[in-house]
A and B are shown apart, each in its own frame.
Chain A
Amino acid sequence: MGNNPYSPHTEADRAAMLERVGVRDIDELLGAIPNDARHPKLGIGPGLSELEVQAHLERIAKLNTTAGSGPFFIGGSIQRRYIPAAVPVLALRGEFLTAYTPYQPEVSQGTLQATFEYQSLMAELLAMEVVNSSMYDGSSATAEAAFMAVRVTGRHKVIVATEVDFTYRRTLRTYGRGPELEIIEVPTAKLASSAEGAACLIVQHPDAFGSLVDVRQIADAAHAAGALCVQVTEPHANALLEPPGALGVDIAVGEGQPLGITMSYGGPHLGIFACRESLVRQMPGRIAGQTLDANGTRGFVNTLQTREQHIRREKATSNICTNEALAAITAAVYLSLLGPEGLRAAARAGVARAHKLANRLAALPGCAIANDGPFFDRFTLRTEMGGWDLRNALIARGIQVEATASHYYAGAKQTGKEPAQANAKPYVGGRREGRDDVIVQCTELTTEADADALVDAVAQLTRSGETVAAR
């Protein structure tokens, strides 16, 4: 008693339980375990009290610089956005937080209805016919979309744009090693002309650099070649941009984290997965559906389960079991609180602030915006300093941005303008072939003061040509 603070058994309980089982000691129940393997020394130290463990974690957390502690412009698929107070209060209620997968629908209507509502909200946002109840994250959803396209078309070649988030392409390549798919990366501009023989074309819009992409033309080219079009999307962008369902997209995937879910250094997040109704039987993951109970009352169940591993085993559409149901519920709470106008407002704020900031930065000597065309709520800043050097110098000033290492995006066509040569100083640093730039993400949390800090710092740095020693 007392070693596991959550174990309720007193020594008297244990004695009574052992007696009922008919043994004198728990060890008598362990006969199947090889003797020499029983009760190894683990070497993990003694247990702590709650107070001690809280203090211990607080000490470790202090070693981090949180996003909110200074101007913050890192974004991409994972974004720092405002989370209304009611979101965690509702989504983290114990009845959602500590429930399991709704295997018994009669006592799981909360989960099932909230999931059905998530699917409905997301279908409306994306203008897609069917949304599943979640994948792990945007990267695995993208890989699963490729696998689904392979099942639908019977082809093994997947074409993905170089301007798709590099972490998604890495996960896709890694997943593709399993069924030994041929995965080819081409610039977005060449996607349409690469469709021949492909299972799918994968495009991101807005892309990793923030640029807007003509998805419809890529979808048309895919369909003409008998391939599917997969779009990687971002939830807020769909409030203002024509959604995948209106662009001819067959499968839409993306990261749902910006919908009220904390960044938490990468997870747990929310893999969005949507498709045409005609493809639903090849869809991975759980789906909630509406039905009636024995009294004819409306209710919800997990449906189309013959796609899933617990029924179909090796013939399942995916191995996914645990998903991100709580994140889907969180996203639904967020969307229902913001409503259509709140979502548009949040999206608009990011777009407007990004464009204003880009104009200010582009006016600085030696700076240019490297996006080829229109961009959404992030953009690519090119200076005479390499992106990594600029980023590191900014971090030293308490400003966090992301650099686009050229090796992550080799071949991506973001030529843009070269910076003006006015204050050019010879660049000394570890720059490799291609250009390293900096990506600047804005959201409704980006303030004027943040923007001023970035503009001032970039102006100083590009004037001085300062470099920060690479680690």
Chain B
Amino acid sequence: MSVRTQTIPDVGAKTPVPALEPLLFELARPGRSGRHVVSHDAADIPAAFQRKAPLRLPELTEPQVVRHYTHLAQLNYSVDTGMYPLGSCTMKYNPKVNDRVASLFADLHPRQSYRTTQGVLALAYEIEQMLAKITGMDFVSLQPQAGAQSEFTALLVFKAYHAKRGEAATRRRIIVPDSAHGTNPASAAMCGYQVTTVKSDARGNVDLDALRSALGPDVAGFMLTNPNTLGLFEERVRDVCDAVHAAGALVYGDGANMNALLGVARPGDLGFDCVHINVHKTFSTPHGAGGPGAGPLCVKAHLRPFLPKPWIVREADGSYHYDTAREDREPAGLGDSIGTIKQRLGNFGVLVRAYTYMKTLGEEGMVETGRDAILAANYLLALLRPAYDLAYDRPPMHEFVISAAKQKKQGASALDVSKALLDEGFHSPTVYFPLIVPEAMMIEPTETEPRETLDAFAAAMLRIAERVKTNPAAVRDAPRSTPLRRLDEVTAARKPVLRYAVPGVAGAE
């Protein structure tokens, strides 16, 4: 691969820039192939069912494929490359031993008998126990494959809970704070609920008066992220939960920001009825360029009957099986359970990694993790304070939100600052979220970045703030050291090109 080196005027350093890579289809030539699977078998398929459509997959040799994906990989920023301070995404280091032990469980099919998968069931059972202890909940479902699916699962549980009490028809509303992640209202709508938004108060908490006036006999639940997306711990969290419960509704804990609470506090002790865990955030499993995740749902005992089935049962002799699908017997029936979200144990391969992390940290390591995450965020905020506005001035937990409103007035927006950071060699924070902070930049350093890296990041942010004052046009022009300049997202959406057009194929662009 050719590596371009270019000098970025304002950055100063000579930065190697990886070259772009052609598409697989452009590298292919008819007749090239590897020899990974060869078969001389003839398939007996009736003519009416046989494929007549052409199959124009690219034809490449293995060395070409290896170079192609290696070059693509080099165009990516990642945690293995550098600091990734995306707020609410908890991009901490992903330990390598976790990946290796996951491979011990790779060659297992979910429809194998419990008799041949006692290790899986033993491990899953222990994961459930550990997550319950860490969150202060009573029972856990491992089925949800991501946070959003866990939200949806929990809302189905809420619906079943209210139905059991004869209130399904009346409780049609879910309340979310205006600082909530987009998944919260989206999950509620998918579950057939109407969504009411309540505002935040001047200290970044849920406005308790607004919440109380929104509550009523038609409310099924309230979804709360704590610490919230401002990185702030709800100062009256128990009053909030009490108010919701007094109205006969349930409190859902969005565990996106659970990293702050590891060993520091437990949702189960604060009044939440349930909480989901993003193991790809809190428990260090790699996020894989957008996924996979896993989103175990942890609940208090009163919600257990409604959890997805099957459940793992441990016998007195230390053996395990499922309570329904007891293999060769009629299932006991779903009872009050909502059904099945994902067969068996969800994204088990991800959960094995999370388990490995939990066993590595142990009790003391868990506490240190939460506390170091909080310290790192407060330290970084202290460094950035001189140059950027702070929306809510009280100590944050694991992340904080600054505003580039001042910089915007000087000629460069939060987006511009975020692009300038790319030229400085850092990934950008989350920008324009939460929606309630203008020119928001949401920064989460995590506990795994050394102080030197936090200092370097802060120095870059301060340099950019200075540059905004003197030469905002240069900041608006960033990035310039990246493989590509800013991309035209408007045209991408207006005239979508969503796949490679195989030449000569009807219907292709």
Candidate in B186, B264, B483, B484 with the most chain A CB atoms within 10 angstroms:
B484
The answer on a CB contact under 8 Å between B395 and A29 is: yes
The answer on a CB contact under 8 Å between A178 and B192 is: yes
Instruction: Give the distance in Å from the alpha carbon of A104 to the alpha carbon of B363 in the complex.
Output: 36
Instruction: Give the distance in Å from the alpha carbon of A332 to the alpha carbon of B498 in the complex.
Output: 15
Candidate in B109, B263, B427, B507 with the most chain A CB atoms within 10 angstroms:
B109
Residues 31-77 (chain A) with a chain B CB within 8 angstroms? 31-34, 36-48, 50, 53-54, 56-58, 60-68, 72, 74-76
Q: Answer whether residue A130 sits at the interface, using C-beta atoms and an 8 A cutoff.
A: yes
Kindly list chain B residues whose C-beta atoms are within 8 Å of the C-beta of A450: none
The answer on a CB contact under 8 Å between B183 and A309 is: yes
Query: Nearest Cβ distance between residue B343 and chain A, in whole angstroms?
Result: 4
Interface flags, B123-136, vs A, CB<8A=1, else 0 = 10000001001101
Residue among B43, B48, B79, B330 making CB contact with A432, cutoff 8 Å: B330
Which 10 A-B residue pairs are closest in the complex by CB-CB distance?
Answer: A326-B288, A47-B362, A352-B41, A325-B290, A94-B80, A174-B339, A268-B292, A63-B119, A266-B110, A264-B349
Residue among B151, B363, B364, B382 making CB contact with A20, cutoff 8 Å: B382
Residues 232-253 (chain A) with a chain B CB within 8 angstroms? 238-243, 245-246
The answer on a CB contact under 8 Å between B372 and A94 is: no
Residues 285-313 (chain A) with a chain B CB within 8 angstroms? 286-295, 297-301, 303-306, 308-313
Instruction: Give the distance in Å from the alpha carbon of A327 to the alpha carbon of B86 in the complex.
Output: 22
Interface flags, A6-40, vs B, CB<8A=1, else 0 = 11110001101110111100101111111011111
The answer on a CB contact under 8 Å between B108 and A66 is: yes
The answer on a CB contact under 8 Å between A295 and B485 is: yes
Instruction: Give the distance in Å from the alpha carbon of A459 to the alpha carbon of B329 in the complex.
Output: 25
The answer on a CB contact under 8 Å between B94 and A97 is: yes
The answer on a CB contact under 8 Å between B289 and A106 is: no
The answer on a CB contact under 8 Å between A106 and B479 is: yes
The answer on a CB contact under 8 Å between B487 and A320 is: no
Question: Which of these binds chain A: B3-11, B230-238, B466-474?
Answer: B230-238
Instruction: Give the distance in Å from the alpha carbon of A92 to the alpha carbon of B288 in the complex.
Output: 8
The answer on a CB contact under 8 Å between B327 and A18 is: no
The answer on a CB contact under 8 Å between B72 and A110 is: yes
Q: Say yes or no: A131-B134 contact (C-beta < 8 A), given A124-B57, A246-B53, A339-B60.
A: no
Kindly list chain B residues whose C-beta atoms are within 8 Å of the C-beta of A173: 339
Query: Nearest Cβ distance between residue B376 and chain A, in whole angstroms?
Result: 7
The answer on a CB contact under 8 Å between A8 and B450 is: yes
Query: Nearest Cβ distance between residue B85 and chain A, in whole angstroms?
Result: 11
Candidate in B79, B232, B376, B483 with the most chain A CB atoms within 10 angstroms:
B483
Kindly list chain A residues whose C-beta atoms are within 8 Å of the C-beta of B364: 3, 46-47
Kindly list chain B residues whose C-beta atoms are within 8 Å of the C-beta of A267: 145, 292, 294, 342, 346-350
Residues 347-388 (chain B) with a chain A CB within 8 angstroms? 347-350, 352, 355-356, 358-369, 371-372, 374-376, 378-379, 382-383
Q: Answer whether residue B317 sits at the interface, using C-beta atoms and an 8 A cutoff.
A: no
Interface flags, B5-38, vs A, CB<8A=1, else 0 = 0000000000000001101110000001111111
Query: Nearest Cβ distance between residue A347 and chain B, in whole angstroms?
Result: 7
Query: Nearest Cβ distance between residue A371 and chain B, in whole angstroms?
Result: 13
The answer on a CB contact under 8 Å between B122 and A63 is: yes
Query: Nearest Cβ distance between residue A287 and chain B, in whole angstroms?
Result: 6
Q: Give the size category of B's interface with A.
A: 35 or more
Q: Answer whether residue B316 sits at the interface, using C-beta atoms and an 8 A cutoff.
A: no
Question: Which of these binds chain A: B97-105, B206-214, B402-410?
Answer: B97-105
Q: Answer whether residue A402 sits at the interface, using C-beta atoms and an 8 A cutoff.
A: yes
The answer on a CB contact under 8 Å between B270 and A44 is: no
Query: Nearest Cβ distance between residue A77 and chain B, in whole angstroms?
Result: 9
Residues 27-72 (chain B) with a chain A CB within 8 angstroms? 32-39, 41-46, 48-53, 55-60, 62, 65-66, 68-70, 72
Q: Answer whether residue B252 sits at the interface, using C-beta atoms and an 8 A cutoff.
A: no
Residue among B362, B365, B485 making CB contact with A293, cutoff 8 Å: B485
Q: Answer whether residue A101 sits at the interface, using C-beta atoms and an 8 A cutoff.
A: yes
25 A-B contacts (beta carbon < 8 Å): A29-B395, A32-B234, A37-B266, A44-B363, A48-B359, A94-B78, A100-B84, A104-B427, A106-B419, A109-B75, A113-B23, A130-B499, A139-B342, A174-B308, A280-B496, A288-B498, A291-B488, A314-B189, A319-B152, A320-B146, A322-B287, A324-B292, A339-B32, A347-B43, A351-B44
Kindly list chain A residues whose C-beta atoms are within 8 Å of the C-beta of B492: 289-291, 301, 303
- Report the nearest B residue to A27, measured CB to CB: B371
Q: Answer whether residue B185 sits at the interface, using C-beta atoms and an 8 A cutoff.
A: yes
The answer on a CB contact under 8 Å between B499 and A116 is: yes
The answer on a CB contact under 8 Å between A140 and B34 is: no
Instruction: Give the distance in Å from the alpha carbon of A44 to the alpha carbon of B369 in the complex.
Output: 15
Interface of B is mostly: loop
Q: Give the size category of A's interface with B.
A: 35 or more
Residue among B43, B263, B360 making CB contact with A48, cutoff 8 Å: B360
Kindly list chain A residues whose C-beta atoms are within 8 Å of the C-beta of B156: 174, 177-178
Q: Answer whether residue B217 sits at the interface, using C-beta atoms and an 8 A cutoff.
A: no
Kindly list chain B residues whose C-beta atoms are within 8 Å of the C-beta of A17: 375-376, 378-379, 451
The answer on a CB contact under 8 Å between A3 and B493 is: no
Kindly list chain A residues whose C-beta atoms are within 8 Å of the C-beta of B38: 342, 345
Q: Say yes or no: A42-B263 contact (C-beta < 8 A), given A7-B368, A305-B493.
A: yes
Query: Nearest Cβ distance between residue B58 and chain A, in whole angstroms?
Result: 6
Q: Answer whether residue B491 sits at the interface, using C-beta atoms and an 8 A cutoff.
A: yes
The answer on a CB contact under 8 Å between A65 and B116 is: yes
Instruction: Give the distance in Å from the alpha carbon of A212 to the alpha carbon of B49 in the complex.
Output: 8
Instruction: Give the distance in Å from the alpha carbon of A188 to the alpha carbon of B116 in the complex.
Output: 33
The answer on a CB contact under 8 Å between B36 and A82 is: yes
The answer on a CB contact under 8 Å between A44 and B130 is: yes
The answer on a CB contact under 8 Å between B487 and A106 is: yes
The answer on a CB contact under 8 Å between B68 and A268 is: no
Candidate in A104, A245, A405 with the most chain B CB atoms within 10 angstroms:
A104
Known: A64-B119, A309-B148. 19 other contacts (CB 8 A): A7-B368, A16-B451, A33-B264, A39-B265, A43-B133, A65-B117, A95-B76, A95-B80, A96-B289, A97-B94, A103-B430, A107-B483, A174-B340, A262-B349, A268-B292, A293-B486, A344-B55, A391-B113, A395-B115
The answer on a CB contact under 8 Å between A105 and B108 is: no
